[in-house]
């Protein structure tokens, strides 16, 4: 079983658009905040990776939108690592309406591991234990 | 004494810019989230006002930036109502780095009260008791 | 041959993040601005569709990131319709660094066609001629 | 007379919010894009200042909102330098609906001049001639 992490927050007014629901680009920001919270829960924020000179730039992102999120709703972002390769890894993410448990969106981000200058680096060994 | 409300959250990666710190436009989003949390704490979200056909559009905003906020920091937004007039009101806001208590930014937003069609409306009486 | 539309603008400072390059969520905003410009070029903005009571909410989005965009660069967004079904359609998008012609990112958004209340509607016939 | 610069672009869908008009935080992003375009027009982008090790962080921002901007409108941002001090300067900004010429918002940003490490620096002499 992978390590699954959840974090919750309210939908911000600025995240909505003219159609009355949350703008679709916002979910990538929420996925990322889910990953940040995941890393804080592990005891080492992404900033620690940065401090170590390790970056995880996004090389692919995908989102499937199932139902709209609305202003003021409490939502939960659930993230886990689904794959770790030698120089790449994948995070899965789900966005859930906290009260009803309804799945609003799901997707993934694929990352490569680089140093500060953008050169490929091996994913740290410790990441592998997060998957299985 | 006015009713003062505080809410806390972590700085998101998407909120930073190339200079390495939080982009200055983000503070208006945080002020607004502070107001939303303020209204949730009162037991009636801004969406309730919308449901009642009452809007509080921003007619002026001002921010003084004192120190930069950085990715992953826990910050606290403190908001209160500083003035209620017949058709307008003012929210004050402060952004604080939660761990040190350092003041990062402060400012205000002035709002008018309108109906759905944008016509001026009186600020509900219940708002007046929030100030003093 | 599909109708291909291009629009160009400079990268905004607020679109960058701490890593020094454009935040990955920004590309969905650029794809969307590409679609808006596409519709303006056709002589009927998305707002006209809204005026007609037709919406095209995004049900899936995907982006592959090939090279980073940087502040102040002139970029070109190229969009076209790749598929029109009875109640759904797909827009392809590419982001190009205008001076060098380098491909920075590519992806797609899938949309369903709905009325104002979110009920499925047929994609207008005129859309079909955009594809072939 | 100060050097006044104008730049125009369409309102993006992502810039609107649930109320049907542009979110108030967006105007700070537009002011900034106005300043970027101002600097490009002078023949040296802000990135050149960064290349020279000079930064202009925002220390205060103010916006007065006069009328709402809407999706797909062409807007013009007009910026000029209103004051240059030894270590600080002020940009004024106006947002105009291009077709009607209606003033939608106006405000200013105050900046200090720093080096890469955030230490105060003198504003370059060449900036002074922009004001008068």
For range A37-57, the mean pLDDT: 76
Plot region of C9 (φ>0 → left; ψ -120 to 50 → alpha; else → beta): beta
Half-sphere exposure of A25 (CA within 13 A, CB side): 21
Give the per-residue pLDDT at D90.
97
> Hey, is the C-beta of D2 within 8 angstroms of any chain C C-beta?
no
Q: Which chain D positions have a beta carbon within 8 Å of B48's beta carbon?
A: none
The rounded distance, in Å, linking the Cα atoms of B15 and B26 is: 6
Give the per-residue pLDDT at D43.
76
A29–B72 C-beta distance less than 8 A: no
> Hey, is the C-beta of C14 within 8 angstroms of any chain D C-beta?
yes
D25–B26 C-beta distance less than 8 A: yes
**Shortest alpha-carbon distance between residue D13 and chain C (Å):** 7
C-alpha B92: how far from chain center: 7
C-alpha D86: how far from chain center: 20
Asked whether the predicted pLDDT for residue D18 surpasses 90, the reply is yes
**Shortest alpha-carbon distance between residue D31 and chain C (Å):** 11
| Cβ-based neighbour number of residue C119 at 10 Å | 8
B19–D32 C-beta distance less than 8 A: no
Nearest 5°: the CA angle A55, A60, A63 is 120
Closest Cα to residue D38, out of D106, D117, D92?
Answer: D92
Q: Which chain D positions have a beta carbon within 8 Å of B19's beta carbon?
A: 55, 57
Q: Which chain D positions have a beta carbon within 8 Å of B63's beta carbon?
A: 60-62
pLDDT tens digits for range A9-27: 999 999 999 999 999 999 9
- Calculate what percentage of chain D has a pLDDT beyond 70: 93
- Calculate what percentage of chain B has a pLDDT beyond 90: 71
Which of C13, C14, C45 has its CB closest to that of D72? C45
C62–A61 C-beta distance less than 8 A: yes
**Shortest alpha-carbon distance between residue D25 and chain A (Å):** 8
The rounded distance, in Å, linking the Cα atoms of B79 and C100 is: 48
CA distances for B120 relative to B51, B111, B112, C79, angstroms: 17, 11, 7, 42
> Hey, is the C-beta of D37 within 8 angstroms of any chain C C-beta?
yes
C17–B13 C-beta distance less than 8 A: yes
C36–D14 C-beta distance less than 8 A: no
A29–C26 C-beta distance less than 8 A: no
- Chain A and chain B share a number of CB contacts under 8 A equal to 46
Q: Which of B72, B73, B109 to mutate to test the interface with A (most CBs of A within 10 A)?
A: B72
Q: What is the ipTM of this complex?
A: 0.94
Written in H, E and C, the secondary structure of chain B is CCCCEEEEEECCHHHECCCCCECCCHHHHHHHHHHHHHHHHCCCCHHHHHHCCCECCEEEEEEEECCCCCCCCEEEEEEEEEEECCCEEEEEEEEEECCCCCEEEEEEEEEECECCCCCECCCCHHHHHHCC
A55–C19 C-beta distance less than 8 A: yes
Cβ atoms of residues D71 and C47 within 8 Å:
yes
Scanning A38-77 for CB atoms below 8 A from B yields 40, 45-47, 70-72
Written in H, E and C, the secondary structure of D14-67 is HHECCCCCECCCHHHHHHHHHHHHHHHHHCCCHHHHHHCCCECCEEEEEEEECC
Q: Which chain D positions have a beta carbon within 8 Å of B109's beta carbon?
A: 24
pLDDT grade for A131, boundaries at 50, 70 and 90: confident
Choose from B55-59, B111-115, C9-13, C36-40 the range with maximum mean pLDDT: C9-13
Phi, psi of A77 (to 5 degrees): -105, 125
**Shortest alpha-carbon distance between residue B125 and chain A (Å):** 24
> Which chain B residue has the Cα nearest residue D106?
B60
pLDDT tens digits for range B67-79: 999 999 999 999 9
The rounded distance, in Å, linking the Cα atoms of B12 and A129 is: 26
Q: Which chain C positions have a beta carbon within 8 Å of A62's beta carbon?
A: 60-63
> Hey, is the C-beta of C125 within 8 angstroms of any chain B C-beta?
no
Cβ atoms of residues A35 and A3 within 8 Å:
no
Three-state DSSP at A38 gives: helix
pLDDT tens digits for range A58-106: 999 999 999 999 999 999 999 999 999 999 999 999 999 999 999 999 9
B16–C14 C-beta distance less than 8 A: no
For range B22-37, the mean pLDDT: 97
pLDDT grade for B16, boundaries at 50, 70 and 90: very high
Which of D58, D64, D68 has its CB closest to that of B24? D58
Q: Where are the beta strands (DSSP E) in C17-131?
A: 58-65, 74-84, 88-97, 103-112
For range D49-73, the mean pLDDT: 90
In chain C, count of helices (H) and strands (E)?
2, 5
Give the per-residue pLDDT at A55.
86
Asked whether the predicted pLDDT for residue B47 surpasses 70, the reply is no
Asked whether the predicted pLDDT for residue C132 surpasses 70, the reply is no
Q: Which chain A positions have a beta carbon within 8 Å of D13's beta carbon?
A: 17-18, 23
Q: Which helix (H) or strand (E) holds D70?
A: none
> Hey, is the C-beta of A20 within 8 angstroms of any chain B C-beta?
no
> Which chain A residue has the Cα nearest residue B20?
A47
Phi, psi of C90 (to 5 degrees): -130, 130
Touching chains, D (3+ CB pairs < 8 A): A, B, C
**Shortest alpha-carbon distance between residue D73 and chain C (Å):** 10
Domains delineated in chain A: 5-130 (3.10.129.10)
Terminus-to-terminus CA distance in chain D, angstroms? 5
Q: Which chain C positions have a beta carbon within 8 Å of B11's beta carbon?
A: none
The rounded distance, in Å, linking the Cα atoms of D93 and D76 is: 10
For range C18-31, the mean pLDDT: 97
């Amino acid at each position: 079983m992978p390590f699954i992490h959840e974090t919750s927050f309210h939908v911000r007014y600025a995240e909505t658009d003219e159609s009355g629901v949350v703008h679709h680009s916002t979910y990538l920001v929420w996925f990322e905040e889910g990953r940040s919270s995941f890393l804080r829960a592990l005891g080492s924020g992404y900033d620690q990776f940065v401090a170590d000179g390790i970056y995880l730039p996004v090389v692919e992102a995908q989102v499937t939108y199932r139902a709209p999120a609305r202003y003021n709703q409490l939502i939960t972002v659930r993230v886990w690592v689904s794959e770790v390769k030698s120089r790449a890894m994948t995070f899965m993410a789900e966005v859930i309406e906290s009260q009803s448990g309804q799945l609003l969106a799901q997707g993934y981000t694929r990352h490569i591991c680089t140093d500060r200058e953008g050169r490929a680096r091996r994913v740290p060994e410790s990441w592998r234990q997060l998957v299985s």
